[in-house]
């Protein structure tokens, strides 16, 4: 026979005794007064043995699930590696052998688009200067756009470390593409105290997942504050790259729902400005272990290791024809959809395992896990022996 007068679980009861706001806790005297169900000693032994048996089975199942999840993560990276070495689209290229442009043509097209963009910016600046002079030169003179700098070519050492590419593919530094790469406002230009309940969205690290945008955490600044920071505007289709380099890279393409926002300083903007590069293709490549391996040796900061935009611009990217980029993105998105489904299934199974663990404990301490034996010494006798032994000392 069990001895107990508790109807609710001890955890539920203890929660009502919590004190404090920042770190809620219970006092030791509140813990000591909680009633505990006491079964006969022999039944306690049977309960412990059964719990250990069931928990051992659960632990083995959880370990298998976690291993499967780790394998999915490795498979994702293996897919990315195969994709950006041209192996996933080998059949696609063979079927279009006469249509594949040489890599030199592709790179020339990228350079031409980048130069054309700069000339267009220069023309706009000249018009803005004329308008500024005609208006009597109010305020500051419009800033002249900088001509794109040619980054250093790949060294022999760098090329030796890179995998072989298919015909028609090429390696190029990210900064050599027709892209805009920048960070957000630093320091006092954007403080936590600037956040308001509604207004213009702020893109923060919490929003950047593994090729997924986390929209659950939202921050805003006022329209007036945005006007002071609007040179940092980002919008749907832009790539956001986390400056913090930990075990993996975090990069995402902003969804179309982000019409206008600003990025924080640690959320780098990578904006594709031409028809040669797909933003989805580039974002996927920036999430690979190839890029991670390049950047991990350049991080600075002990507590929060990070990179800067210059280091990101020097990252080496593989490029192929726009049509093949589209084919690669389609294959990867289909495969990733399946991987994500399997991963979510595993997560649900892990949650069920945690619930099952609690269910086992609940059954154990309510006398429903193991059979009771009428021959067992009653718990009341055990308690009396405990009390007698305690008072005799």
Q: Where are the domains of the chain?
A: 1-37, 38-100+335-393, 169-320
Whether residue 235 has pLDDT greater than 90: yes
The region of weakest confidence among 30-44, 74-88, 262-276 is 30-44
The answer to whether domain 169-320 has CATH 3.90.220.20 is yes
- Mean pLDDT within 305-317: 93
**pLDDT tens-digit map of 49-76:** 999 999 999 999 999 999 999 999 999 9
Q: Is the pLDDT of residue 237 over 80?
A: yes
Cα–Cα dist 43/179, whole Å: 71
Which of the residue ranges 136-145, 245-254, 292-301 would you say has the lowest mean pLDDT? Answer: 292-301
Read off the pLDDT band of 270 (50, 70, 90). Answer: very high
- In the prediction, which pLDDT does 107 show? 86
**Percentage of residues of the chain with pLDDT beyond 90:** 63
Distance CA 207, CA 217 (A): 7
pLDDT value for 15: 65
pLDDT of amino acid 10 = 58
* SS3 sequence of the chain: CCECCCCCCHHHHHHCCCECCCCCECCHHHHHCCCCCECCHHHHHHHHHHHHHHHHHHHHHHHHHHHHHHHHHHHHHHHHHHHCCCCCCHHHHHHCCCCCCCHHHHHHHHHHHHHHHHHHHHHHHHHHHHHHHHCCCCCCCCCCCCCCCCCCCCCHHHHHHCCCCCCCCEEEEHHHCCEEEECCCCHHHCCHHHEECCCEEEECHHHECECCECCCCCEEECHHHHHHHHHHEECCCCEEEECECCCCCCEEECCCCCCCEEECCCEEEEEECCCCCCHHHHHHHHCCHHHHHHHCCCCECCCCCECCHHHHHCCEEEECCHHHHHHHHHHHHHHHHHHHHHHHHHHHHHHHHHHHHHHHHHHHCCCCCCCCCCCCCCHHHHHHHHHHHHHHC
Q: How would residue 286 be classed by pLDDT, with cut points 50, 70 and 90?
A: very high
Q: Taking the chain, what is the end-to-end CA distance rounded to the nearest angstrom?
A: 27
Query: What's the pLDDT band for 104 if we cut at 50, 70, 90?
Result: confident
User: Residue range 376-385: average pLDDT?
Assistant: 81
pLDDT at 5: 45
Average pLDDT of the chain to the nearest whole number: 88
* In contact, 77 and 288? CB cutoff 8 Å: yes
- Other beta carbons less than 10 A from residue 267's beta carbon: 25
Q: How confident is the model at residue 346 (pLDDT cuts 50, 70, 90)?
A: very high
Using a cut of 0.85, tell me whether the model's pTM lies above it.
Answer: no
Q: What is the pLDDT of residues 192-232, one digit of tens each?
A: 899 999 999 999 999 999 899 999 899 999 999 999 999 99
User: Is the pLDDT at 7 greater than 50, yes or no?
Assistant: no
Q: Compare 108 and 33 and report the one with higher pLDDT.
A: 108
Within its chain, how far is the Cα of 180 from the centroid?
Answer: 22
Band (24; pLDDT cuts 50, 70, 90): confident
Examine the pLDDT at 38 and tell me if it is beyond 90.
Answer: no
């Amino acid at each position: 026979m069990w001895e107990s007068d508790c109807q609710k679980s001890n955890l539920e009861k203890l929660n009502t005794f919590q004190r404090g706001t920042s770190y809620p806790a219970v006092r030791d005297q509140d813990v000591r007064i909680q009633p505990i169900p006491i079964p006969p000693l022999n039944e306690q032994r049977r309960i412990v043995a059964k719990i250990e048996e069931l928990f051992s089975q659960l632990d083995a199942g959880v370990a298998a699930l976690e291993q499967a999840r780790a394998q999915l993560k490795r498979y994702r990276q293996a897919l990315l590696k195969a994709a950006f070495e041209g192996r996933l689209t080998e059949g696609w290229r063979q079927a279009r052998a006469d249509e594949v442009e040489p890599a030199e043509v592709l790179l020339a097209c990228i350079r031409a688009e980048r130069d054309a963009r700069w000339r267009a910016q220069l023309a706009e600046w000249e018009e803005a200067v004329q308008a500024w002079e005609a208006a009597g030169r109010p305020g500051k003179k419009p800033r002249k756009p900088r001509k794109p700098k040619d980054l250093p070519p790949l060294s022999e050492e760098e090329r030796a470390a890179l995998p072989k590419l298919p015909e028609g593919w090429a390696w190029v530094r990210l900064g050599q593409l027709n892209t805009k790469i920048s960070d957000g406002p630093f320091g006092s230009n954007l403080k936590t105290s600037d956040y308001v309940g509604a207004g213009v969205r702020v893109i923060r690290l919490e929003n950047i997942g593994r090729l997924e945008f986390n929209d659950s955490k939202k921050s805003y600044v006022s329209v007036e504050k945005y006007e002071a920071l609007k040179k940092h505007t980002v919008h749907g289709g832009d790539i956001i790259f986390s400056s913090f380099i930990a075990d993996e890279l975090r990069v995402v393409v902003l969804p179309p729902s982000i019409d206008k926002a600003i990025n924080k300083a640690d959320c780098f903007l990578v904006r594709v400005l031409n028809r040669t590069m797909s933003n989805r293709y580039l974002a996927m490549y920036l999430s690979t272990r190839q890029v991670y391996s390049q950047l991990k040796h350049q991080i600075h900061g002990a507590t929060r290791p990070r990179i800067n935009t210059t280091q990101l611009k020097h990252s080496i990217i593989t490029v192929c024809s726009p049509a093949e980029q589209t084919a690669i993105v389609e294959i990867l998105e289909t495969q990733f959809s399946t991987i994500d489904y399997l991963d979510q299934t595993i997560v649900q199974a892990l949650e069920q395992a945690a619930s099952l663990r609690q269910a086992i404990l609940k059954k154990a301490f309510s006398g429903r896990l193991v059979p009771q034996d009428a021959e067992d010494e009653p718990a009341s006798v055990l308690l009396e022996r405990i009390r007698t032994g305690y008072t005799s000392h």
